[in-house]
Amino acid sequence: MAEERRSRGGAGSKVRGNARGAEKGGPRRGMFRRRKVCKFCTDKVDYIDYKDAKMLLPFVPERAKILPRRISGVCAMHQRKLQTAIMRARQLALLPYSTD
Amino acid sequence: MSQVRQYELVYILAPEATEQEVADLHTQVEAIITRYQGELVKTENWGRRKLAFRIGKHREGTYVLEVFKGTGELTKELDRRLKVIDSVIRHLCVRVDEDLRLAERTRARREAETARRIARGLPVGGRSRRSDDDGGDDEPIDRAEV
């Protein structure tokens, strides 16, 4: 009896183990994300101009919030410069602070 | 006393302002700059543009850009004067010399690096396929709409 129970328990744990393994494998399987590269680095932009609203526009989608760099893939240095440029452009009403 | 630096001043005039008023304000600004031993480098009239949001009751404004060299006192005075003038609905004055110098330096370094790589017969770095056209960097795409 005791042996049976133990073995049953063992089987159970094994099953659970497999399930966990499948969960772990889930997101990895078939999800190849392209490595994002900084737009400003590839285009070799040294100075992000706050006066150029057309250039800044893709970095302030619909709600006019600044696009985080985990999404845009912009490098840290350029994100900092971009942030200043966007804030300056907002003061001059070239870009909105918010939209609804 | 204080150091001469390069600044960019952008001010927005109310859309009701006539050409004459815009010109008048420009001469006023120029006068202040010369009075403080500054130097006007460049001036640009962007004309009338739509504002991204309403400022007061305005939805449009006439944008004017002035690039000048001067001291901190000059910017202070310009700031004070522009605040007083009613037809100016918004203005912004920023120091640009340091940023431009930094941009120039990184560009020079990159060019030196490219030259070095070419001299050694190494592949020219960067993922960009258009490593040879470097000219269009500091040219803003659309500036003068009307």
Give pLDDT tens digits for A21-45.
444 444 555 677 777 789 999 988 8
- Whole-angstrom Cα Rg for chain B: 20
Of A47, A92, A97, which is closest to B90 when you measure between CB atoms? Answer: A92
Q: Does B15 have pLDDT greater than 80?
A: yes
Query: Quick one: pLDDT at residue A80?
Result: 94
Residue B109 domain flag = no
A53: exposed, middle or buried (Cβ count in 10 Å: 0-12, 13-18, 19+): buried
Residue B142 domain flag = no
Give pLDDT tens digits for B43-101.
999 999 999 999 999 999 999 999 999 999 999 999 999 999 999 999 999 999 999 99
SS3 B9: strand
Q: Does B9 have pLDDT greater than 50?
A: yes
ipTM of the complex: 0.75
Residue B112 domain flag = no
Query: What's the predicted TM-score (pTM) here?
Result: 0.72
Query: Quick one: pLDDT at residue A37?
Result: 87
Residue B84 domain flag = yes
How confident is the prediction for chain A on average, in pLDDT?
Answer: 77
Q: How confident is the model at residue A66 (pLDDT cuts 50, 70, 90)?
A: very high
Mean pLDDT on A70-83: 93
Q: Do B61 and A51 touch (CB under 8 A)?
A: no
- Return all residues near A71 (Cβ < 8 A) that are at least 6 apart: none
Say which residue, B11 or A2, is predicted with more confidence: B11
A-B contacts at Cβ under 8 angstroms? 63
Task: Look up the CATH number of the domain holding residue B86.
Answer: 3.30.70.60
Q: Do B94 and A90 touch (CB under 8 A)?
A: no
Tell whether B144 is within 8 A of chain A (Cβ): no
Query: Quick one: pLDDT at residue B71?
Result: 94
Query: Quick one: pLDDT at residue A17?
Result: 42
Query: Quick one: pLDDT at residue B94?
Result: 95
How confident is the prediction for chain B on average, in pLDDT?
Answer: 85
Number of domains in chain B: 1
Q: Which long-range contacts (CB under 8 A, 24 or more apart) does B77-84 make?
A: B77/B32, B77/B36, B78/B9, B78/B29, B78/B32, B78/B33, B81/B28, B81/B32, B82/B11
Query: Quick one: pLDDT at residue A27?
Result: 52
Contacts with A, B 97-136, CB within 8 Å? 99-100, 102-104, 106-107, 110, 126-128, 134
Chain B residues whose CB is inside 8 A of the A97 CB are: 53
CATH number assigned to the domain covering A39-91: 4.10.640.10
Question: B71 lies in which domain range?
Answer: 5-98
Chain B residues whose CB is inside 8 A of the A46 CB are: 102-104, 106-107, 137-138
Of B106, B127, B142, which is closest to A54 when you measure between CB atoms? Answer: B142
Query: Quick one: pLDDT at residue A34?
Result: 74
